[in-house]
Amino acid sequence: MIKENYTINSAELEKKTEWFIGKCREKGLKVTPQRLAIYRELMKTDEHPSAEMMYNKLRQDYPGISLDTVNRTLITLHEMGAANIVEGSGDSKRYDCNMDEHQHFKCIKCKKIYDFHHKPFDDIKLPPNINKKFKILRKTVYLEGICDICLEENE
């Protein structure tokens, strides 16, 4: 199912806010007005905003807030498990001239990208409602984790 025009109701928002406050305390992070505002703003949208987009929204209600705080807080949210960084984002572009079907595994420590080819991933079926609504140009199965070399180094 495609989720559209998502709006969280206020009860849900308060519940999530409570959860977030608990999570902060648990991790020894301070509950500042900015952190709350950023988290709540992110809860309220389904736009997968960038830091810049959030900053523009937030400064309407919090004129003093700065873009770096938004940036830093989003990273904090990600680290504490309260937000995801959406795939397809960040870092600089990386190129590849292997035009055969294949997939990538990226090590989040050393940033190395490994090719692999797993036949079943070539053939995954797209959900029909998506396929009908949008024109799909590329489908990607993408794995992230820690590579064998970095795993060894940790021990």
Partner DNA sequence: CTCTGTGCAAACACTTTGCAGCTAA
Partner DNA sequence: TTAGCTGCAAAGTGTTTGCACAGAG
Among 8, 17, 62, 146, binds DNA (CB under 7 A): 62
Residue with tokens 């608990």: 22
Nearest to 39 by CA among 58, 11, 52: 58
Residue 66 near which of DNA, a copy of itself, none (CB within 5-8 Å, type-dependent):
DNA
Cβ proximity to a copy of itself, 32 vs 126, nearer residue? 126
The Cα 144–Cα 98 span in angstroms is: 20
Least gap, CB of 108 to a copy of itself (angstroms): 7
Question: What distance in Å separates the CA atoms of residue 20 and residue 153, rounded to the nearest whole number?
Answer: 34
Is the CB of residue 136 less than 8 Å from the CB of residue 128? no
Residue from 47, 52, 115, 153 that binds DNA (CB under 7 A)? 52
From the CB of 31, what's the least distance to DNA, in Å? 4
The two three-digit tokens of residue 120, written as one number:
């079943």
67 touching a copy of itself, by CB under 8 A: no
For a copy of itself, the binding residue among 15, 25, 27, 78 (CB under 8 A) is 78
**Could you say whether residue 146 binds a copy of itself (CB under 8 A)?**
yes
Q: Is residue 83 a contact point for DNA (CB under 7 A)? A: no
| Long-range residue pairs from 26-31, CB within 8 A, at least 24 positions apart, any chain | 27/80, 29/76, 29/80
Binding to a copy of itself by CB under 8 A, coded x per residue (else -) over 82-111, reads xxxxxxxxxxxxxxxxxx--x-xxxxx---
Report whether 141 contacts 124 (CB < 8 A): yes
For residue 85, the one-letter residue type is: I
Residues that bind DNA (CB under 7 A): 24-25, 28-35, 50-52, 62, 64-69, 71-73, 75, 90, 92-93
